[in-house]
Amino acid sequence: MDTPIRVTIWNEGRHDKSDPKVAAIYPDGIHGCIASVFQDDPRFSVRTATLDDPAQGLPDDVLNATDVLFWWGHCAHAEVEDELVERIWQRVMGGMGLVLLHSSHYSKINRRLMGTVCRSKWRFTDDLERIWVIEPGHPIAEGLPEFFELPLEEMYGERYDVPAPDELVFISWFSGGEVFRSGCCYRRGSGKVFYFRPGHETVPTYHDENIRKVLKNAALWAKPAGGPAPTFGKYDGIHAGEAGV
């Protein structure tokens, strides 16, 4: 039996407490709702963390025991300490998976990893979102229909200023006239990064069955690969034929 994949769901956790509308949708917090995706599946062990926990929820013993980190942030990006961003970045470089949700596109860690503006157009009025599977052969698309809808979501529209994804899994259509690259896979360092667009706090996106499939598929895809730890710096070299490897 394989060791379970250790998933940590990090949530800013502010809207869920301050806005009764959000609290009604997510009585256990956005993190609680997402954690329930993994709870009864023996392939995973799951825990949650929020910004207002000690060490902003991710002390070393938690972060270093995380195989895949989910991240939901919005209004408090600036409060996340640079030191924590650095530790997360180091973990991704070392192989940890990172799944960035919705407004986390503008989190410090995403901006650090992407190296670009990481902004888009947005609007929250009355848009319906239709998410099309562009790569049906991608493991993150497992079990999905050709497209699925979210009856009300915040619109994010292109140009979304990020590097072209290594693999583009989803494109969203919005009823107001916009499109968005909604499922973007990146390999960074020895880690994998998946950005998944939907998830506005005032609508029950993370209760949607298709969304929950994507979250689980993303964790399986993003888990550490177990390849060689790269070495850097001065290298005397090994003569060809004497490698002993």
Q: Please, which of residues 206-225 interact with a copy of itself by CB under 8 A?
A: 210, 224-225
Do residues 127 and 99 make contact, with C-beta atoms less than 8 angstroms apart? no
> Is residue 31 part of the contact set for a copy of itself (CB under 8 A)?
no
- Which residues between 149 and 178 bind a copy of itself (CB under 8 A)? 149, 151, 155, 157-159, 161, 163-164, 166-168, 171-178
User: What length does the chain have?
Assistant: 245
Least separation in angstroms between residue 204's CB and a copy of itself is: 16
| 213 burial type by CB count under 10 A (0-12 exposed, 13-18 middle, 19+ buried) | middle
Do residues 151 and 131 make contact, with C-beta atoms less than 8 angstroms apart? no
- Name the residue among 218, 221, 223, 225 with its Cα closest to residue 34: 218
- Which residues between 226 and 245 bind a copy of itself (CB under 8 A)? 226-241, 243, 245
- Which residues between 91 and 150 bind a copy of itself (CB under 8 A)? 93, 95, 112-117, 119-123, 128, 130, 132-139, 141-149
Least separation in angstroms between residue 214's CB and a copy of itself is: 11
The CA distance from 173 to 127, in Å, is 10
On the question of a cis peptide bond just before residue 159, with omega within 30 degrees of 0, the verdict is: yes
Between 26 and 71, whose beta carbon lies closer to a copy of itself?
A: 71
Between 27 and 136, whose beta carbon lies closer to a copy of itself?
A: 136
Least separation in angstroms between residue 108's CB and a copy of itself is: 12
Six-digit token string for 212: 């929950």
- Which residues between 1 and 30 bind a copy of itself (CB under 8 A)? none
Q: How far is CA 151 from CA 109, 183, 185, 208, 215, in A?
A: 30, 18, 25, 11, 19
Least separation in angstroms between residue 92's CB and a copy of itself is: 9
